[in-house]
Copies of this chain bind each other. A is one copy, B any other.
């Protein structure tokens, strides 16, 4: 069981933007610091902009920054948004007959896994991006930020 790479990168990019503020983060520096391809970073930054987590500023001195303060962005909200497939098991996928499990109509597993997933997300709802930044000095050093 893993979060998608997309969620992983999203969280790292939001952390970078939080630490860099009020300056803008750029695709280039995030790509360099985390060793993630520019294409990947661009795709995630665009998505996070569409979802209202980031403000993207175009142009030569452009970049991105958080659109809200870190304490207003819960990790549960981020993960619900970036994990487009919270299906846990294929029977969650619903009416798709290819993936349909034979015993789904009488099986209780789906409800139990849904309950487990809710417990997972509830923990994440209890934390915000700000909680990830407690060691902001160390984080900035690791990311080669000068302040």
A85 in contact (CB, < 8 A): yes
Q: Please, what's the 1-or-0 string for A118-147, where 1 marks a CB less than 8 Å from any CB in chain B?
A: 011111100100011011001101110000
In contact, A105 and B138 (Cβ under 8 angstroms): yes
Q: Given the complex of chains A and B, what is the CA–CA distance between A121 and B119 in angstroms?
A: 9
Interface size on A, residues (CB 8 A): 49
Name the distance in Å between A20's Cβ and chain B's nearest Cβ.
13
Complex: how many Å from CA A85 to CA B101?
23
Q: Which 4 A-B pairs have the closest CB atoms?
A: A106-B138, A116-B123, A106-B135, A119-B119
Selected A-B contacts with CB under 8 Å, 5 pairs: A1-B1, A8-B89, A106-B135, A116-B123, A120-B120
